[in-house]
Structure 1
Amino acid sequence: MDFELKTMTAAQAAAEKCDVLVVLVGESMKGAKAGKAQDAVARLAATAVAAGDLDTKAGKLLHAYRAEGIAATRVVLAGVGDGSGKRVQSGVQAAMSALRGSKAKRLAILLPEGSGDAAVRAAVCGTADSSYVYVATKSKPEGRELERVIIGVADAAAHKPAFERARAAAAGIEFARELANLPPNHATPTRLGEEARKLSKAFKFGCEVLGPKEVEKIGMGSFMSVAKGSDEPLRFIVMRYEGAAKTDAPVVLVGKGITFDTGGISIKPAPEMDEMKFDMGGAASVLGTFRALAELRPRLNVVGLIPACENMPDGGAYKPGDILQSLSGQTIEVLNTDAEGRLILCDALTYAERFKPRAVVDIATLTGACVIALGAVRSGLFSSDDALADALLAAGDAALDPAWRMPLDDEYGEGLKSNFADVANVGGRAGGAITAAKFLHRFADKYPWAHLDIAGTAWKGGAGKSGTGRPVGLLLEYLLSQAEQGGAVAKKAKGTKR
């Protein structure tokens, strides 16, 4: 799908030749008088609001077919409330949902007069999100009709930077969604490595994909143990985007890449186990972020690390009671093989030290406990560093991809004590998302660190089952803000640990 930003008044929107014209109507329209409107679009909207047929509350819709004086075949009036990014996103998503199944190929969206950059970003990303259709493994691909979307604003030049940012974000989010939605017999660790290489070749950034022999030589014993139960060979993916001087310390993103999780010997119950193909949502988000990052080319260095493998229960699988040797030298007692994500991430976090990073952020579908705590609205954020946490929270709010900071008190680590190793891989049931984060914290004490638990936000279940592409929006916004501030937030973060 192609997006275009265009200077467009209501009168110009009326003349725009397209299959569907979506007019976003804000609260300011409540006082407008239909008789004073000079063009068909403004008259239609003002008349509908005055008659009470259109509520300007975000998400409310009114449809018109071949309206007089309007070139578009169909018109959708969509309420967007106060016109904020969040309300615009709701309005656009409602309009796109109503159009799902239509044959529309060309769409124009007219933003309310006075809309800011946040509204532009929300219109682009909301449209892309709502019009996404998975077809990769269907025999008769159908549903991807929309080809071109025009975003109409009062001054296109003023909003061009925000538009380009949004377009790249939308592409990265879709890339992550597509990978996450692939079935596990397609999206293997090998496939993830291939996708990383394709991206690196297309967008000219560095990429190295390591196999079992190289990982064993490095000494990633914890990661290797998780992979032992599968016939699919593990992959350790290292991507390097260099947009600044080589001497500038990079931000490192670490994505959990469990391409299918049976739970291992501590096997999961059968219902909804198919959704464990989404357990590589962290890896998908890192790849999607690189897809967007390489298109925008900010002045920043970024490293992406993805430990990828399956967690399977064959005769070679690791077992409860096993003691693992991590890359850091710390030993780990396995009490539950279904807590495998932290066992592959801990070695990647130790590996990240060699880049002397300004900050490290790991992203993982880590715990069901985080889903219980926060549901599907906000990702869980844990951090050893206040300024880093603040920057990530602000990025999430700006990208409409919100997170919520969770505690990381030392007392939560007490449950991870082991009689036989330096640390156990699980604590008790209480505070499970926090004890998981405390486990990772042990391996991330050499740099400012944050952990995003996306178990509740990386995919949707039920009838609308699909990957969401989160938190690509948050990560991209954070990285761009770091580039714009010259890394000031991350540098400040080093002095504000907790």
Structure 2
Amino acid sequence: MEFSVKSGSPEKQRSACIVVGVFEPRRLSPIAEQLDKISDGYISALLRRGELEGKPGQTLLLHHVPNVLSERILLIGCGKERELDERQYKQVIQKTINTLNDTGSMEAVCFLTELHVKGRNNYWKVRQAVETAKETLYSFDQLKTNKSEPRRPLRKMVFNVPTRRELTSGERAIQHGLAIAAGIKAAKDLGNMPPNICNAAYLASQARQLADSYSKNVITRVIGEQQMKELGMHSYLAVGQGSQNESLMSVIEYKGNASEDARPIVLVGKGLTFDSGGISIKPSEGMDEMKYDMCGAAAVYGVMRMVAELQLPINVIGVLAGCENMPGGRAYRPGDVLTTMSGQTVEVLNTDAEGRLVLCDVLTYVERFEPEAVIDVATLTGACVIALGHHITGLMANHNPLAHELIAASEQSGDRAWRLPLGDEYQEQLESNFADMANIGGRPGGAITAGCFLS
């Protein structure tokens, strides 16, 4: 799909479709008012007849409006004008894209970027429109032999900005939006890949391809089981030893700041490409979805792709901790005691609490980079979903300023996070009779004790 920006009057657009907003109750946006005046009140007459109230998600497609060059006008309900915030703006864009795609509008000029969104400028509105459009049209159909596509899909979207002075920032917003959207798509594609294709070796191949594509700034190193053994990463290795697929840790280094004082930000992603639970095997219902246990690594890969595409002036290291947790004759067992890379010992009480066993060794490994910050992303425990549901991510941190920045970023992006405590009192639940600690601490505060284990 192609995106561009322009600045022009709505009545002069020779597009297949013009998109404008309508507020509740039946209030035309400024651009819609211009079109109404040009058409001698055609649009307002329709609203008076009750064709559209302006509620969020409502649409009305008009054909051959008098005195308007565009073939069609799409009216989109935007809710109450004073309540149009980031979340509602994205929903309006999403509805717009779906409607255009379903009604055969192969190209459109969108004036929704001229709506007032509290606290947001035109750069943000254009960038969010691009990101939302790409996300709305996303589908994973690479493995289908018969792909279902709209007969006349949306192929070109032009965003209108109020003045020509804002064209440059609008073009930059499109560039940034496409880079971010590409990173999100890459993460989703990895997550959706079936586990017989996407194993640790596949993650490693994607990491290497990233270095090939951005060779100026990106270097990838893949660490296999033999090198892990030499490093003392016995906890990580234990998780994957029941699988025939080799465990591989992919280290992607992006260098955008050549200063010797520029310490890197390290991102660590849990990459369990399939988690059966191991000997402590999971119930069969829903086990197919355990291919998603590598979405932490997928997210880190997507971020690294985006950082490289935007050529950000920072140094970032992304680690994809790939392996597979399977039962088998060589699988690790409940009751085993493992020695981690840090030298601490862990008693395995449940082999399905495997993510922390992988990540603890990776977190020790990345200390060699002397990072400015380490951010670990993982589908670490179902207890977090029990606590917060499916809409908010749990966040635990031992550095308050970084935690506050991440919470603020989550609010800005719409991908919200909520901070959970990391108190010493929770550590007592991890006490073991046979090792320095156990790998689980019981049901109470299960997400928190998982974080405490890694802290």
CA contact (8 A) 1:378 1:403 kept: yes
Distance 1:222 1:164, change over 3 A: same
TM-score normalised to structure 2 length = 0.89
**1:201 and 2:209 are equivalent in the alignment:** no
Q: For residue 156 of structure 1, what is the aligned residue in structure 2?
A: 167
Kindly tell me the number of residue pairs found equivalent between the two proteins. Answer: 438
CA contact (8 A) 2:113 2:159 kept: no
Structure 2 letter corresponding to 1:437: G
**1:263 and 2:263 are equivalent in the alignment:** no
Of all paired residues, the percent bearing the same amino acid is: 41
Q: For residue 200 of structure 2, what is the aligned residue in structure 1?
A: 189
**1:214 and 2:246 are equivalent in the alignment:** no
Partner SS for 1:383: coil
Partner SS for 1:415: helix
Tell me the CA shift for residue 44 of structure 1.
Answer: 6.2
CA contact (8 A) 1:85 1:121 kept: no
Structure 2 letter corresponding to 1:5: V
Tell me the CA shift for residue 103 of structure 1.
Answer: 4.9
Tell me the CA shift for residue 434 of structure 1.
Answer: 0.9
Partner deviation per Cα, 1:32-89 (whole Å, 9 max, x = no partner): 6988756669966655555543333332322334545555555432223444321111
Q: For residue 318 of structure 1, what is the aligned residue in structure 2?
A: 332
CA contact (8 A) 2:101 2:154 kept: no
Tell me the CA shift for residue 325 of structure 1.
Answer: 1.1
Q: For residue 79 of structure 1, what is the aligned residue in structure 2?
A: 77
**Runs of 5+ unmatched residues, structure 2:** none
CA contact (8 A) 1:227 1:233 kept: yes
Q: For residue 186 of structure 2, what is the aligned residue in structure 1?
A: 175
**1:57 and 2:55 are equivalent in the alignment:** yes
Which is worse superposed, 102-111 or 169-178?
A: 102-111
Match of 1:30 among 27, 41, 48: 27
Counterpart CA distance in 1 for 2:25 and 2:378 is 42
The RMSD of aligned alpha carbons is 2.5
Partner deviation per Cα, 1:392-416 (whole Å, 9 max, x = no partner): 1111122222211111122122211
Tell me the CA shift for residue 288 of structure 1.
Answer: 0.6
CA contact (8 A) 2:39 2:66 kept: no
Structure whose CA Rg is larger: 2
Counterpart CA distance in 1 for 2:332 and 2:316 is 33
Q: For residue 299 of structure 1, what is the aligned residue in structure 2?
A: 313
Taking the TM superposition and a 5 Å limit, the aligned residue runs for 1:269-348 are 269-348=283-362
TM-score normalised to structure 1 length = 0.82
Which is worse superposed, 392-401 or 32-41?
A: 32-41
Counterpart CA distance in 1 for 2:126 and 2:404 is 24
Structure 2 letter corresponding to 1:118: W
Counterpart CA distance in 1 for 2:357 and 2:97 is 41
Counterpart CA distance in 2 for 1:219 and 1:23 is 61
Which is worse superposed, 54-63 or 229-238?
A: 54-63
Tell me the CA shift for residue 365 of structure 1.
Answer: 0.9
Distance 1:308 1:43, change over 3 A: farther
Counterpart CA distance in 2 for 1:275 and 1:426 is 22
Distance 1:218 1:6, change over 3 A: farther
CA contact (8 A) 2:114 2:160 kept: no
Distance 1:389 1:29, change over 3 A: farther
Counterpart CA distance in 2 for 1:55 and 1:387 is 45
Partner deviation per Cα, 1:428-478 (whole Å, 9 max, x = no partner): 11111111111111xxxxxxxxxxxxxxxxxxxxxxxxxxxxxxxxxxxxx
Partner deviation per Cα, 1:188-238 (whole Å, 9 max, x = no partner): 111111111111111221111122112212211111001101111111000
Match of 1:120 among 92, 102, 126: 126
Distance 1:172 1:330, change over 3 A: same
Partner SS for 1:231: coil
Counterpart CA distance in 1 for 2:403 and 2:327 is 37
